[in-house]
Structures are given as structure tokens and as C-alpha cells.
Structure 1
Amino acid sequence: MKISTLTLLAISSLLTACGTANHIERIAGPNTVVPQHKDGKREGRYHNLYPGKKTYPISCENDCYPSNTHLQCEEGSENCQYIAEQVIPKLNTGYTVRWLGHAGFMISTPNGQQVVFDPVKEQFDSPVALGFKLAGGIYRKPGAWPNKQELENIDAVMYSHIHYDHFNKADIEEIGNKPRYLTPLGMADNFPTGGFNISEMAWYAKTSINDLVINAVPAHHFSARVLVPFIYEDNDKDLWNGWLLEQNGSTLFFAGDTGYSKHFRDIQTKYGDIDVCLMPIASYYSKDDPNWYRYVHTTPEDALTAAQELNCKVMIPWGYGNSSWKMGDHSSHSALLRLLHMYNKMDSKVPLYILNEGESVQL
């Protein structure tokens, strides 16, 4: 079989790209926080700002998942669509938010940059996806993945941490090495090779893409890669972040996976009231270890409390949905049912906007 010169050149180019070393920079220094243990068995591993036993301002104890006429479901709280008419807050921030499913968002900034948070197209990286399925885990329906043209126009990809449902190597290879990748400290060595431009950032570090200011901010979580999701081994070799965007005086906050802690107040103290808050509301319960799950994931009422402390002008929840893994939750939309219930019970004053996967809103 004859192979054309053009085919050989294409293969050569592909092999060269795959072998191209990544460019990695570390952004830390004065006025940033690198929360590493200084001595003992965990020397060099990262830790949360506020460890230890938690007390929570409010907890739903009974009847936490009442049905809601605004949620149209095929059965129970599975395979649902939020159908209520909603008033879009008149914020004039210039941000457009599109929910890709689970923790994934595509953001159009006020001046037109395209950035993505925690994109995961389908399943976990191989072979963990297969193992998860064989072990009886939920095999996720694909999310609302950007089309080819959208992928080609991405300016930045931001990851909150290395857990499989937030970081997928196959997706990085599909997105390509045109965007700038921003991560917590230590994450770059998890990337495939291919000439990717990666900035690892300490807490409160900042960088810019043209006039878009990107801040890495604390979260209350942990990191592990090899054994997740079978055993939540607290490895903590790599840091975990939230992200705060600033442009034209408007702010957008992506909390990442996080439990409730004082770090939310710290963020508000440093950056002021937040315009748009993308807040997690799922994966907070397991009958085997409920205290641990809530320790590192916000319940819907924790997310509402955090949004109040951040003085969010609008809160958009995530983590539930038809393309979620339903990890730690009762069903695809149980977390949303609990959020709607607690929003009324707490008489929350933070404006709430609910998206279905694939939907967008201009704020």
C-alpha cells in the first residue's frame, strides 16, 4: 500500500506535536498563599485554610426534597427540566454564562474572551471510567460539549482540581494547545504532552489575558487522582482552587468543588461583592460517611449561605443535572429540589437563576 507524501507529513506533524514539551510557569510570590505542610509525614502536601470540625449555620433535617411544580421530570426527580419563567437580573456585567453540565461552564467575558471552567465531555479518563462502570457507578450521559468552532476560539481553560469529574486528559487533547491553561499549583504534571501553555497559580495569585484579570482563590477541598472514585485517598499533592474573573469592573466567581468554610468571607473581604457566582450544590451526602462528604462539598443550604457571605448579585447552581454522575446524591435533580426548598425556607435574598444543561444566560 502506497502512502502519500501529504499523509506522511501529517503523521510526522502529529507525532511531533504529541512529543512537544509543555510550557509551564508557576505564579506565586508576595501577597499569595501556598498552603503547604512544613514538617511531618505530610510535608509539602497542601491543606485547607480552615481545617477541623465544622459547624454549619443551617442544615435541612427533614423533608428536604419536596416536589416542585417548576421541575418537570420523567419519573420522581430523574431526567428533569426546569421550566419556570425566570427574570434575568439586570446586572449589565457583560458576562454570558453557558452551562455544559456538572461543573463545566463556557463563559463569554464582557470584552469577548471565551473561557471554560472544568470541561469534561463524557466519562472519566480511561481506564477509570470502565472500572467505575463495572463497579456499579453511574455512567454519565454526555454533557453539552462545545462545537468544533467554539473549541477553536477558546482563550483560556481553567481547572479547579484534578478529580476525574473535573479534569480529563482526552478533553485537553481535543481542545488543543491554542488556549492558555490555568490550574492550581502542582497540576501541570497531570497534563498530556503536546506543547500546552500551563500556568500553575497559588491562592490569591493573579494573571491577565489582555484586560481580563484572572484570580486564583481558595477552596475547601482535597486532591487525589489514582484511586478516585473508588477510594477517596486524601493525597493532596496538587492544590485546589476557585477562580475569580474581573473585567470592566464586573466580577464572576467559580467556586470549584468546595465545602463551606470561612474562605468565602475572606474572598468577599479581599475582592468585594461578587456579581455572578457559580456555586456547587451536589455530592454532599453519602450514607457511609456523610460528615466527610459535606466537609468537602456544599449542601444547597451551605451554597446559599456562602452566596450571602459573598454578597452575590446572582447565584447560578451546578452539580445536579441529567449529565451528572449523581455522586453522593439521591438522583439527577434531588440537589436542585433541596435548593429550591431551602431557598424559600431560608428566605434567601440572593437572586437565583437556574440553568438546564446547554442553556445560557446573559447577565
Structure 2
Amino acid sequence: MLPARHQTQEYGHKKPRPEHKPIAPFDEKTLPRYSKNTQLNTIKNKKKDVRMKTVLSNLKKIIPCMLNRYLTRQSQQILFLLLVGSALATSWCAAEQNNHSMPYCKDGRYYYSQEEYEQISVWNHFTSIPYKLPALIMRELPHLLGIKKQPCCDWPTVLAPTFPARSIPLLLTWINHSSFLIQIGDHNILIDPVFGDCPPLRRTHKPGFALEQLPTIDYVLISHNHADHTDFATLKTVATRDNPLFIIPAGNTKLFNAMGLTKITEKTWWEQLVLLEKTKQTADTPSGDKKLLTITCLPARHWSCRKLLDANTALWSSWMIECNGTTLYCAGDSGYGPHFKEIAKNFPIINVALMPIHPIKSSSEHMGPKDAITAFLDLNAQTFIPIHWGTFSCESYIPEMPLIRLAQHWQLRQKELDAKQCLLFQFGQTKQVHPDAPDATTLESLMALTTY
């Protein structure tokens, strides 16, 4: 016997018809309130589309007619190539700008990269201070009590500074530590000026000359806010005397305002500052013109801290100075990282590089002599000038030891450094850098340090 469903289909039995509810009569008031507006907007959008299509179709007809009427065939081709080239250049520049490495910012604090943030925390910076203080005090206590003689830096100092009031070619004067006076294109630039003490670090050598002997300063560059690079007393004296422009990394405005400094500008990595001033004709500047000066804020691998709980709340940086056909790079205080190769890609010609070499043992925050040479080769710079040594010491070795290690590593990599030069400065010494004419006497003195 067939199932019931087949029997129903075969013998034509009909299923009972379900009851239907009566349909309500059409009432315009029962429609949603937005229905009329929706219909009107749809009509308006359609009209706009029609108008836009009409305009585009008219332009397609008018532009070729105008080009054929007013431009020759060759001119049309040139115009087309210019438009295509400008579009490609714009997209390439945007891509290059987006590919720049930027500091990673998290909860109001800066980090070298996101990977570094995931590996370390801010506590590693300021909680390490209490743990290091007892060892530091025990090491420094014999020196403070006079039980143990404090080692001093025997590196020579010039009898008197020889820098002029201003200079068109590049003149460099090493003050001490990372402090340099840069004179180029009638501009006087001061980098990380420190003329005072920096406790608890011991000063092993006095500055090359007195603060009052400085010429008129136009610009002051600060790499970061550590006490051995940002000396409050020195900055206040220079600001009161010369009123220069302070160019600082992002996040340091509050600190500088607390010192009473207001003529400042903040920059983050890869930001440029183009400066061109017209000066009065004086004996110091007989031409009356300053050369175009470009200062670029660049990456560095370091950290910042001025108080116990403000670690990494302000950025740190390195700097590139371009003026009068010369490019000078100041690494500031930095550990080794991939940013050096990135800088070399954006600045194919670097004449001078100021590279830190202290302490001897490299870390993620500091470069020793070995890593400093590697970074110098990554930059493809021409002249190596060691900085960040011989002035302050918190280690037990002699202050000249970083320079001795630099000489040894320079000899080991002599083949790679054959076309390069290394310039050594006495404290307070002024030199004119000639990339095409290596300083043979300075190079010999560097090699002689291996017998120290």
C-alpha cells in the first residue's frame, strides 16, 4: 500500500486551505516617516549622477579638441609624460615617507620600535637605578674620601681656542664629551653643550675652554635629556647671552620651559627644519648673507629620563646638518640598530659622522668602539670623529680606554676602512675637515694608541 502522501497526489485529495487574514487598506500615514525623504534623496542622487556623467562626457569631448587646437602633437606628448612623471614621483615620495621607521609610542612613552617595547618595559629603566646606586656609591666612595686616587684623562688640551667668530667652510671644535661647536655657512651651532658637572658621574677632564669664550650661538641641538647631554646651567647661560633657537626632540618642551627657555622647536624622526637668515653686514659676516641650512631629526636607539618616573616620556634622536655642500651626521647617544642603513639610503653622501664610542661594552642603548665602526660603515660616511669619551666616567678603566679599543678595531678592519679617515681632536681643538685630504698625522696618532 502506498504512503498517504502518494495517495493524496494520485486521487486528487486537496489539503485544507489555510485561513488568510484580511489585507489592511493602503494608508499613506502608516508608511515609515523616512520613506518620502528616502525617495527624494534617491531622485537627487540620480540627478547628480546624470549631471556628473554629462560633465565628464563634455570634458572628454572638449579637452582633446582644445589640445589639438592649441598644442602640437609633440607638445601633447611632453605634457602627457610630465603628468605621468609627476604622478609617479608623488606616489614614490609618499611610499618612501611611509616606509621611514618611526618611534613606537605607547601610553605616552616612546620606544625605539614595537619589537623593543614587547621585549622590555619602562620599569627596566627606572627600577634599575635603585639597584645600581649601592654599587655605584661603593665604587665612588673611595674616590670621594680620597682613599683611592681618581683616574684623570691625560688627553691633551689646547692652550687657547682658535675658532673664529664665524666661518663659511666647515669648522669643528670639540669641547668635551659629546659637545661640539659647528661653524659652517656663517652659522654657529652647538650640539649637546655640557660645561658643568654631571653627578654621580665623575668628570675626568675639564672642558677645552671656558663657556664665556664661545662665539655667538645661533642654534643649539639636543639629542636627549640625560644630564650629560642637557646641562641646565650651560643652556641657561647661552640662552641669556645669545638667545639662540633650541632644536629638541619631541616631548622635551615642558622640561625646557621649566628652565625658562621659550625659543624652542620640537622635531620627531625624519622631520626637517630649513633655516635661511639675512643678517646685517658686520665684520664677522662681511657678506651679509647666511647659507641655506637644513637640519633633519633622525632615529637613534636610546632612552630618556630626567626624573625618577619620567622614563621615555620624551623622545631622543640623532641629527643631520646640511649646509654649503657639506653633510654632517651626529649620532648623539645611540646603540647599534638598522636605522643607520636606513639613514644611508636617504642621505647617500655623508661627509662627517660624529660617533659615540663609550662605554667599551656595547648594549642596546650604547655603542662601543666595535659597533661604532660598524655603524660608520653602514652610513657609508667619509670621516669618523669619536665622541662621548674622556670626560665622564662611571667605569673602573682609564678614560682613554675607549680610544685605545677604537684604534685596535680600526686596525683589524683596515681593508674596509682604507678609503676612510678618522680624526682625533684635543680638548678645545678646532679643525677644518677636508674629506678629500685625509689627516695623516691624526691617523698615525690613532694607530700609536695600540701601544698605550
Alignment TM-score, normalising by the size of structure 2: 0.56
Q: Aligned to 2:255, which of 175, 186, 190?
A: 190
| Higher-Rg member (1/2) | 2
Distance 1:320 1:310, change over 3 A: same
Inter-partner Cα distance in structure 2 for 1:355 and 1:50: 38
Contact 1:284 1:328 survives alignment (8 Å): no
Structure 1 contact 36–43 (Cα < 8 Å) conserved: no
Kept in 2, the 8 Å contact 1:216–1:242? The answer is yes
Question: In 2, distance between residues paired with 1:186 and 1:329?
Answer: 34
Displacement after TM superposition at 1:234 (Å): 8.0
Q: CA deviation at 1:145?
A: 4.3
Q: Deviations over 1:268-314 (max 9, x none)?
A: 101112101111000243xxxxxxx6211111111111111111110
Whether the aligned pair in 2 keeps the contact of 1:49 and 1:220 (CA below 8 Å) is: no
- Partner letter of residue 398 of structure 2? S
Of 346, 354, 360, the residue aligned with 2:424 is: 354
- Looking at structure 2, the residues matched to 250 and 344 of structure 1 have their Cα atoms a distance apart, in angstroms, of 28
CA distance in structure 2 between the partners assigned to 1:326 and 1:234 by the alignment: 24
Superposed CA RMSD:
2.6
Counterpart secondary structure, 2:364? helix
Alpha-carbon distance in 1 for matches of 2:374, 2:171: 24
The 1:272/1:336 distance shift into structure 2, 3 A limit, reads: same
Q: 1:339 and 2:406 equivalent?
A: yes
Q: 1:208 aligns with which of 249, 274, 298?
A: 274
| Number of aligned positions between the proteins | 274
Cα deviation for residue 139 of structure 1 reads 3.9
Match of 1:279 in 2: 355
What's the offset of the Cα at 1:80?
2.9
Contact preservation (8 Å) 2:157, 2:428? no
Partner Cα separation in structure 2 for residue 306 and residue 123 of structure 1: 29
Distance 1:147 1:190 in 2: 22
1:81, distance to aligned residue in structure 2 (A): 3.7
CA contact (8 A) 2:153 2:205 kept: no
| Structure 1 counterpart SS, 2:371 | helix
What is the SS of the residue equivalent to 1:313?
strand
Evaluate the alpha carbon distance shift between residue 187 and residue 113 of structure 1 in structure 2; reply closer, same or farther with a 3 A threshold: same
Q: Which runs of 5 or more residues in structure 2 are unaligned?
A: 1-96, 120-149, 159-167, 277-291, 434-452
Determine if contact 1:284/1:329 at 8 Å carries over to the other structure. Answer: no
Percent identity, aligned pairs only?
28
Task: Report the CA distance between 1:209 and its aligned residue.
Answer: 2.2
Alpha-carbon separation, structure 2, partners of 1:146 and 1:114:
17
* Correspondence for 1:173: 236
Corresponding position: 1:270 with 2:346: yes
Residues 43-54 of structure 1 aligned to structure 2 (within 5 Å): 43-49=107-113, 51-52=115-116
- The one of 269, 292, 302 equivalent to 1:221 is 302
**For 1:33 and 1:184, how far apart are their aligned partners in 2?**
15
Amino acid at match of 1:361: K
Secondary structure of 2:194 counterpart: coil
Give yes or no for the alignment of 1:36 onto 2:104.
yes
Asked whether 1:240 is paired with 2:303, we answer no
Higher helix share: 2
Whose RCO is larger (CA < 8 A, sep 6+)?
A: 1
Equivalent residue in structure 1 for 2:367, among 285, 295, 298: 298
Q: Is the 8 A contact 2:151 2:204 kept in 1?
A: no
Of the three residues 311, 325, 340, the one matched with 1:249 is: 325
Asked whether the equivalents of residues 283 and 329 of structure 1 are also in contact (C-alpha less than 8 Å), the reply is no
1:180 and 1:196, CA in 2 relative to 1: closer, same or farther beyond 3 A?
same
**Cα contact 2:334–2:365 (8 A) shared by 1:** yes
Q: Residue 112 of structure 1 aligns to which amino acid in structure 2?
A: D
Residues 44 and 117 (structure 1), Cα distance of their counterparts in 2 relative to 1, 3 Å cut: same
Indicate yes or no: 2:172 matched with 1:94. Answer: no
Q: CA deviation at 1:354?
A: 0.8
SS at match of 2:233: helix
In the TM superposition, residue 154 of structure 1 has moved relative to its aligned partner by: 0.5
Offset of residue 320 of structure 1: 1.6
Could you report, residue by residue, the CA deviation over 1:105-142 in whole angstroms, capped at 9, with x for unpaired residues? 00001x11000100010213xxxx3xx2xxxx424543
The corresponding residue for 1:25 is none
In 2, Cα distance between the equivalents of 1:236 and 1:76? 32
